[in-house]
Amino acid sequence: MPAPSPEQRLQALGITLPPVAVPAAAYQPFVQTGNLVFLSGHIAKRDGQPWVGQLGLTMTTAEGQQAARAIAIDLMGTLKAAVGDLGRVRRIVKLMGLVNSTNTFTEQHLVVNGASTLFADVFGERGAHARSAFGVAQIPTGSCVEIELIAEVQ
């Protein structure tokens, strides 16, 4: 019996992918070169609005993980728009996570796990990726987390 497809895994998780968000400035939501697809940074949103907050001041690590998971869902929506079928994804290559955090907050890596875990749940071994997680002083619109992605496709 073949492994479930990414779309089947999303359905089992009760996740519906959103359409591609309109860029907030002069850039493209994704660019493909060769077999690599680069997705622009996606900010955390809740109820369609920027998820505003600062880790270590107004948000907990667990709330940051929820925000990162929400971004992963948005990223998959953009990735699907870019490639047509998530089954074409050979590998999630790299995530870069920016966490709006105080200078004493040190759990950025745990926050970004909210996205990393969902990619593993949806893509299995193909979802295992390299990653960076940074604490930053601010993210556009005051959002708590921003994540960008690189994927390899067939």
Summary mean pLDDT of the chain: 96
Mean pLDDT of the region 110-134: 98
DSSP sequence for the chain: -PPPPHHHHHHHTT--PPPPPPPSSSS-SEEEETTEEEEEEEE-EETTEE-B--BTTTB-HHHHHHHHHHHHHHHHHHHHHHHS-GGGEEEEEEEEEEEEB-TT---HHHHHHHHHHHHHHHHGGGG--EEEEEEES--GGGBSEEEEEEEEE-
* pLDDT above 90 (res 22): no
* CB 98 within 8 Å of CB 134: yes
* pLDDT above 90 (res 145): yes
Q: Name the superfamily (CATH) of residues 35-153.
A: RutC-like (3.30.1330.40)
Looking only at the bridges linking them, the beta strands covering 145-153 and 36-43 are: antiparallel
Looking at the DSSP assignment, which residues form a beta bridge with residue 33? Answer: 36
Which pLDDT score, from 0 to 100, does residue 114 have? 98
Which pLDDT score, from 0 to 100, does residue 134 have? 97
Mean pLDDT of the region 24-40: 95
Tell me the pTM: 0.96
Closest CA to 64 of 116, 12, 123, 120: 116
* pLDDT above 90 (res 21): no
Q: 74-100, pLDDT tens digit by residue?
A: 999 999 999 999 999 999 999 999 999
Mean pLDDT of the region 145-154: 98
Which pLDDT score, from 0 to 100, does residue 23 have? 85
Which pLDDT score, from 0 to 100, does residue 3 have? 86
